Amino acid sequence: MSQATARAHSNIALIKYWGKRAGPRNLPAVGSISVTLDALYTDTTVVFDDTLSADCAQLDDKPADTARLTPFLDLVRTRAGIDTRASIVSANNFPTGAGLASSASGFAALSLAATRAAGLELDARELSILSRQGSGSAARSIFGGFAEMHRGTRDDGSDAFAEPMLEPEDWPVEIVVAITDTATKSVNSSIGMSHLDERSDYYQAWIDHSESDLAAMRDAIAARDFETVGALTEMSCLKLHGLMMSTRPGLIYWNPATVAAMQAVRSLREAGTPVYFTIDAGPQVKALCAPGYGEAVARSLEGVPGVLETRRTALGPAARVIA
Ligand code: DP6
The per-residue pLDDT for 94 is: 81
**Nearest protein CA to atom 1 of ligand 1, as residue:** 280
Best of 137, 140, 148 for a ligand 1 pocket test (most atoms within 8 Å of beta carbon): 137
103 CB near ligand 1 (under 6 Å): yes
Q: How confident is the model at residue 301 (pLDDT cuts 50, 70, 90)?
A: very high
Please check whether residue 136 is in contact with residue 30, taking contact to mean a CB–CB distance below 8 angstroms. Answer: no
Measured in Å, residue 57 CA sits from the centre of ligand 1 at 22
The pLDDT tens digits for 251-293 are 999 999 999 999 999 999 999 999 999 999 999 999 999 999 9
pTM confidence score = 0.97
**Nearest protein CA to atom 8 of ligand 1, as residue:** 135
280 CB near ligand 1 (under 6 Å): yes
**Nearest protein CA to atom 6 of ligand 1, as residue:** 190
Compute CA distances 17 → 80, 146, 151, 236, 237, whole Å: 30, 15, 9, 10, 10
Measured in Å, residue 166 CA sits from the centre of ligand 1 at 21
**Nearest protein CA to atom 3 of ligand 1, as residue:** 189
Please check whether residue 170 is in contact with residue 50, taking contact to mean a CB–CB distance below 8 angstroms. Answer: no
Q: If you ran DSSP here, which 8-state letter would residue 201 be given?
A: T
Measured in Å, residue 255 CA sits from the centre of ligand 1 at 20
Please check whether residue 56 is in contact with residue 87, taking contact to mean a CB–CB distance below 8 angstroms. Answer: yes
The pLDDT tens digits for 152-176 are 999 999 999 999 999 999 999 999 9
Q: Alpha-carbon distance 174 to 17, whole Å?
A: 21
* For the CA of 103, the nearest atom of ligand 1: 3
115 CB near ligand 1 (under 6 Å): no
**Nearest protein CA to atom 12 of ligand 1, as residue:** 137
Helix-helix angle 69-80:102-117, to 10 degrees: 30
The pLDDT tens digits for 21-70 are 999 999 999 999 999 999 999 999 999 999 999 999 999 999 999 999 99
